Amino acid sequence: MIHSLFIINGSGEVFMEKHWKTVVSKSICDYFFEAQKKSANPEDVSPVIATPHHYLINICRNNLYFVAVLTNESAPLFVIEFLHRIMDVFEDYFTACTETTLKDNYVIVYELLDEMLDSGLPLVTETNTLKELIKPPNLLRKVANLVTGDSTNVSDALTSSQLSNIPWRRLGVKYANNEAYFDLIEEIDAIIDRNGTTIMGEIQGYIDCCVKLSGMPDLTLTFVNPRLLDDVSLHPCIRLKKWESEKSLSFIPPDGNFRLISYHIGSQNSISIPIYVKHNIQYREGSAGRFELTVGPKQTMGKSLEAVAIECAMPKSVLNCTLTPSQGKCTFDPVKKVLTWDIGKIETNNQNSTRLPTIRGNITLAAGQPIPEGNPTLNVRFTINQVALSGIRVQRVDMHGESYKPFKGVKYITTVKNGRFQIRT
């Protein structure tokens, strides 16, 4: 399936490559670079690029591009999901998947790629199994390898998880403190028209877990509104029949960090919009204009809006923006024509319009240029802690199979991290 893999940094340098069959020249990446030049944002590069003899399938995370080269047609989503899985494994091994960490651990990177794929086909993707096959890096092991001259980290014996019917969990797990944390994160995608009406509103949600429990625990999660979870992707550890009959998650968890479930809530459901922006953008005859925004909370269930930021791509005829924010800081890039207003935190008790974050000032237009026809679109980012906009909540977390009582915690986050929240002006 996957013939070769190229890892490219933000500067366009191919700093790592792996070939499972014959070597493919780096020049194949020129097709990717051409598509990259045509895209305004890194995430807008086409995920599938067809060339005369190959297919390039790519993902972008942490300012790194993972480009897989295929010689035959294959399901693109399967390859994209596998590339994300590779990055997830790297993040689990090295804490962060960056150019520096990959270069510092290049031996382990190639050993992992050898184990994860066999002749270009996925073989081992469970982190717990990989950690038994290839030891994670640590300072003591690096020193020992330097002294002994042994650079390999691969185990000689077959792992216990490969012989088990529960390959996602290794045997003999022991912890002094037994704890399980569940983060229910929802990313909102929305388009709001200039009158404040919601044109489109969707939620991409998932539950990320950090489980550090001894032995072989059996967990069950029940929800308050499970009927909302209809379009889901489940981790292999979940018992499918119990989910279909009771809408509860029953599973023996992997050890460490993993994603338990992903779900999508479409625009057919009513989604509460937690923020509003009042806007007044005017272009006048001559070389001047007026710009004013006011931001406030709406339906946040008493929680504060945090990390609020607004980005606005101004027309090309705008030379400069002289704006004064009442809160946060404002910057304007005259080359990219992008205005950024970092607001920060907005308290829910700030309902008085005179105390809401406001930015106002003048716009300088190029002389002799026609007045821009349309107003720009505002891209809004924010985070709300302890709130899930969909209404989904975890009711209970029960554990069976072990005698100890673990610490259990559930956290809710609503954000616009990877989504797009646009307000048309």
pLDDT tens for the chain, 425 residues: list them. 899 999 999 889 999 999 998 899 999 999 999 999 888 777 788 999 999 999 999 999 989 999 999 998 889 999 999 999 999 999 999 989 999 999 999 899 999 999 999 888 898 888 888 888 888 887 555 555 556 555 566 655 555 555 567 888 888 889 999 999 999 999 999 999 988 899 999 999 999 999 999 999 999 999 998 888 878 999 999 999 999 999 999 999 999 899 999 999 988 778 889 999 999 998 887 778 899 999 999 877 888 999 999 999 998 888 889 999 999 999 999 988 999 999 999 988 765 555 899 999 999 888 878 888 888 999 999 999 999 999 999 999 999 999 999 999 999 999 997 668 999 98
- pLDDT of 419 reads 62
Domains of the chain: 4-148 (3.30.450.60), 179-271+387-424 (2.60.40.1170), 275-385 (2.60.40.1170)
Q: What is the pTM of this model?
A: 0.81
- pLDDT of 344 reads 94
Check residue 337 and report its DSSP letter.
T
Cα–Cα distance measured from residue 236 to residue 47, given in angstroms and rounded to the nearest whole number:
26
- pLDDT of 353 reads 57
Cα–Cα distance measured from residue 93 to residue 85, given in angstroms and rounded to the nearest whole number:
12
- Three-class SS of residue 260? strand
β-pair partners for 411: 183
Residue in the block written with tokens 């890039």: 333
Check residue 405 and report its DSSP letter.
-
Residue in the block written with tokens 């802690």: 385
- pLDDT of 350 reads 60
Cα–Cα distance measured from residue 24 to residue 279, given in angstroms and rounded to the nearest whole number:
52
- pLDDT of 394 reads 95
Tokens for 317? 């005829």
